[in-house]
Amino acid sequence: MSRDPRAFVALDRGTATVAASLVARIDGRWRLLGATAAPAGVETGAVVERLRRRLAASEPELAELLGIPRPGSAVDLPRVACETGRPPEIAVVAATDRVLAPLVAVAAAAGWRVRPVVLDGAQILPVASALADPRVSAVLAGASDPPGADERGLLPDLGAVVAAATDRRPDLVTVLAGGLAAPGSRVEAQFRPDRPGPTVLGPSPARDGGEPLRELLDGLRGGDHDGRRSLAAGATTLAEVLRRRIEVVEIGQAGATRIVAGFTAGRVLPTRWASVPAAALLPPAFTEAHLDAVAGWLTTPLDRLRLRDRLRELALTPWGDATGDGALLRMAAARAALERLRAATPAMDEGSPPDVVIASGGAWAVAPGPAVALALADVMRRAGIRALGWDHARLLAPLGAIEDEAERRAVMADLRDDLLLPLGSVVMPAGLRAGRLAGHLSVKGEGGPAELDLVPGGLELVDLPPGERAIVELRFRDAVDLGVRVKHAAVEVTGGLGGLLVDLRDVPLRLPDRPERRRDLLAAWQGALWAGMDA
Amino acid sequence: MIDRDVLAEIPARPLLVRGLEARFPLPPGDRAFVVAGGSVTAGDALLEHLRDRRIDEVDVHTAPDAERPIAGTRWAPPPGRRHRDHDGDGELLTPLPGRKERWRLVAGDHRDRVASPLGGEVTAVRPGAEIRIRASGPSLRGAFAAGSAARGRLELATDPFGELRPGGIDVGRAGSILVVGSRIDAEALTRARAMGVRGIVVATLPGKELRDFQASERRQHASLHPTAPFGVLVLDGAVRRSIATPVAALLERFAGTEVALLTDPPALVFDEEPVDLPAPAPDWVRVRSGVNAGLEGRVVALVGPRRFPGPVTLEAARIAVEGEPSLDVPIGDLERFA
């Protein structure tokens, strides 16, 4: 950004979507004037021009004041931008499955597509071929520290195949982790000293929950303006601005991100985040299990062959067929992706639950806000009470690209009311006894009081528009888990497009096995929050 | 006609791509006949493919002051019978740990010579990985492909809306790459391959037909007999629709010429670019997906956010379709041709 801009454009260019927002300084503070998005094939200039055209049509004086009244005049506005590309591929190689599993888990959360390669019981030719594959841009080889009895006999071969891979591709980035990482180890000694590619000695995946190795691998995948790193930076600043513990779940066409950023007692807590390509809306290695997961969330009957074809089309044209049941298909795929993201980041479910959960990314772009709120409640099931928000303008990531922390904080503090679309709040107790009334809920808000009996298994909606606050008082017959075990609680909640969701369904969610009953149940829940949708 | 700046908001699909880089797999053991920086013409020997890949162990004797051998290099037994423990040549794979100068060698007895389906410049040769060739002619990109790269005479077997049945393919089509309209099934694909057809260009291929065809391909390649190259290029996707008229016009223009069908990336490469190529009107668009998929017309205006069934609100364009009232279509469902 320039030293003292009056307006700037925030750009988030992803693999499927280019999103642009026009931000201007009005009456001494930054305001979001407009946001739009288009398929990634559209030039950035055309998207920015659309924003300018609409501003000039609706607020010509403001457009004049900002110096963008004429076509093409927005081209010179300062920009903050980030970009998300297709994730690179890493071959993760170890002697046994026992050693491989933690290495794969860490690499998969570091923004890499992972190709696991295990030596034990494998033919040497497929192993060597996998490492030589041109799509693989790095190799992570690891061993226990110290090596276990099950892998010791295989380590010389492990060193030989990795060294052979660096012979074939001297520029290959090679990471040796755990027991292979000793400087001058027998594995490293087999590499040609004059090869141009770096050999990096990394920590064990067991150290500090794998975070040091994850950070190392994330840094190796490159990308100066990487959208997912920017998103983590933006989320950290937002937590500081809101003084809340926030969780961001971003689902995109080529990958997904989960970020937990916190703030407590006047200080920012370390942000934990993971970028998981396997949790993309439609991962390239789409298996029957992926298909089953999407089918499990569908509210319309669709046979497997047609479902597979529709998903293939969605992968080819992420913006196509987004109306009618195409929108439902997207939301089913988004829920399945969110499940994968959560499964790949179990450590982020530990500790206190977040105060705010924020949806981000192109997967949510076509659905109405309340439907997004339900999807978050369906999958992000942790006992507690929290607000739900939506990074509707996809501003978080580009704002995270502002390098100066103080400037970023100032901009985000001004934009705090524009940045997130309030989806509502969710009350999600766990440990309710089925088959009898669990208690009673009363809401005291500006719209008048509301009373509700708490029936386990149900999903109740209380109208609470955006901008409104209310006090929710919960009285349970028995102590339940609401983040902490309580029988009686009173908390302030905020409204949103979906209002207040009183979610008394199981934690985790249990759905009927029979497809028809499952679909009917999902459709009933969705129908309450997606007005006008038939299924 | 609508302003070009406004049209820029509609995703463009390039009709012809220049400088496409084709990739050919070169797994360990296969031998390249070309070198990086060289040029190749269609029909030239590109690589030697091993059909019965196996691992042997050999002693790789090197001079005491020489560097250790490198994985990926070719190896042949030294002349003479002394110290000879292996007769054939192959590619060094990995050293055997703890055995000085002992290496694993990828070798095989049955070798096929693979010809280059296209002409161009060899940009990379990576033993054990791939050969890359930058095409000298223009190319038409597809959505996905199956089978292997092939070369043949382009023939239009049906109109852009048609479907080719197995009974419609005979040996008279041998050596050709057939354009078969909107869709084809796996049975017709396998029959085409059996009749000597070199490739199929089709608008859509459902997932079931694709998997059946790929299974058939695997069975073919599992045999020790050499198989002729045969590829399928899918232009659009999996859900049925016709070939877009600008693409059909392009294919019609190139009908009768030799073309290369590539699988990585999926594309059809033409030998040269004629000066009289048909160019679609800049405002001509096709509805690529959604309930109106397959319709084509002219963009009248961008109409901004519109509410569509769902209900969902999406940016839309108004298009005029010949003989029908104009309709608003989500921009994400549209493609224009550049």
pLDDT tens for each residue of A399-457: 999 999 999 999 999 999 999 999 999 999 998 888 889 999 999 988 788 899 999 99
Residues of chain B found within 8 Å of residue A41, distances taken between Cβ atoms: 11-13
Task: State pLDDT tens for residues A469-501.
Answer: 999 999 999 999 998 899 999 999 999 999 999
Q: State how far residue B159 is from chain A, nearest Cα, in angstroms.
A: 23
| Cα dihedral A69, A73, A77, A81 in deg (nearest 10) | 110
A216 phi and psi, to 5 degrees? -60, -50
What is the reported pLDDT for B83?
A: 56
Q: Does A321 touch chain B (CB under 8 A)?
A: yes
Q: For chain B, what's the residue count?
A: 338
> Mean pLDDT for chain B?
91
pLDDT confidence of residue B85: 62
Query: Out of A71, A168, A326, whose CB is closest to B127?
Result: A168
* B127 chain-A contacts, CB cut-off 8 A: 168
B312 → closest Cβ in A43, A46, A323: A323
Q: In this predicted structure, what is the pLDDT of residue B1?
A: 66
Phi, psi of A5 (to 5 degrees): -75, 150
Reported in sequence order, the residue ranges of A414-534 that DSSP labels E, i.e. its strands, are 421-428, 439-445, 448-454, 459-462, 469-481, 485-494, 500-503
Most B-contacting residue of A300, A310, A312, A530 (CB-CB within 10 A), to test interface:
A312
State whether A322 and B315 contact (CB < 8 Å): no
pLDDT of B79: 75
pLDDT at A41 over 50: yes
The CA distance from B192 to B198, in Å, is: 8
Per-residue confidence (pLDDT) for residue A3, from 0 to 100: 47
Give the pLDDT band (50/70/90) at residue A293.
very high
pLDDT for B84 beyond 70: no
Residues in CB range of A384: below 8 A, 6 or more apart: A353, A428, A482, A483
A376: tokens are 């978050």
* pLDDT tens by residue, A79-138: 999 999 999 999 999 999 999 999 999 999 999 999 999 998 888 899 999 999 999 999
**What's the pLDDT band for B82 if we cut at 50, 70, 90?**
low
Given pLDDT bands bounded at 50, 70 and 90, which one contains residue A60?
A: very high
- Residue A518 vs residues A1, A332, A513, A523, B166: alpha-carbon distances, Å: 51, 13, 7, 8, 41
What backbone phi and psi angles, to 5 degrees, belong to A84? Answer: -120, 120
What's the pLDDT band for B100 if we cut at 50, 70, 90? confident
pLDDT band at B81 (very low <50, low <70, confident <90, very high): low
Question: What would the pLDDT profile of A313-370 be if each residue is shown by its tens digit?
Answer: 999 999 999 999 999 999 999 999 999 999 999 999 988 889 999 999 999 988 899 9
pLDDT score for A264: 77
Predicted confidence (pLDDT) per residue in A187-241, tens digit? 777 888 788 888 899 999 999 989 999 999 999 987 778 999 999 999 999 999 9
pLDDT band at A24 (very low <50, low <70, confident <90, very high): very high
Residue whose C-alpha is closest to residue B101's, from B109, B110, B92: B92
Structure tokens at A377: 């409640």
**Residue B86, pLDDT above cutoff 90:** no
Select the residue of B12, B104, B208 nearest A124 (Cβ to Cβ): B104
Average pLDDT, chain A: 92
* Residue carrying the six token digits 């499952």: A518
Spatial CA neighbour of A480 closest among A453, A444, A443, A507: A507
* pLDDT of the residue at A184: 64
CA A131 to chain B, closest CA, distance in angstroms equals: 9
Give A509 or A285, the one with higher predicted confidence: A509
For A191, name the nearest residue in chain B, comparing CA atoms only.
B70
Q: What is the mean pLDDT of residues B219-225?
A: 78
The residue among A378 and B85 whose pLDDT is bigger is A378
* ipTM of this predicted structure: 0.89
Is residue B14 over pLDDT 50? Answer: yes
- Which residues, numbered 124 to 163 in chain A, qualify as contacts with chain B under a Cβ-Cβ cut-off of 8 Å? 124-125, 128-129, 132-134, 156-157, 159-161, 163
Residue B76's pLDDT is 87
Number of neighbouring beta carbons within 10 Å of residue A158:
25
The verdict on a CB contact (< 8 Å) between A322 and B312 is yes
- Report the pLDDT value the prediction gives residue A5, as an integer from 0 to 100: 63
End-to-end Cα, chain B, rounded Å: 16
Mapped onto helix, strand or coil, the DSSP state of residue A207 is helix
Q: What is the pLDDT of residue B324?
A: 87
The pLDDT confidence band at residue B30, using thresholds 50, 70 and 90, is very high
Whether the predicted pLDDT of B239 surpasses 80: yes
Is B333:B290 a contact under the CB 8 Å cutoff? yes
Gap between the Cα atoms of A57 and A435, Å rounded = 58
Band of residue B253 on the pLDDT scale cut at 50, 70, 90:
very high
Distance to chain A for B127, nearest Cα, Å: 7
- Those residues whose C-beta lies under 8 Å from the C-beta of residue A379, and which sit 6 or more positions away, are A335, A338, A339, A342, A509
Confidence at B51, pLDDT banded by 50, 70, 90: confident
What is the average pLDDT across B154-175? Answer: 87
> Tokens 């590539």 — which residue?
B262
So what's the pLDDT on residue A2? 44
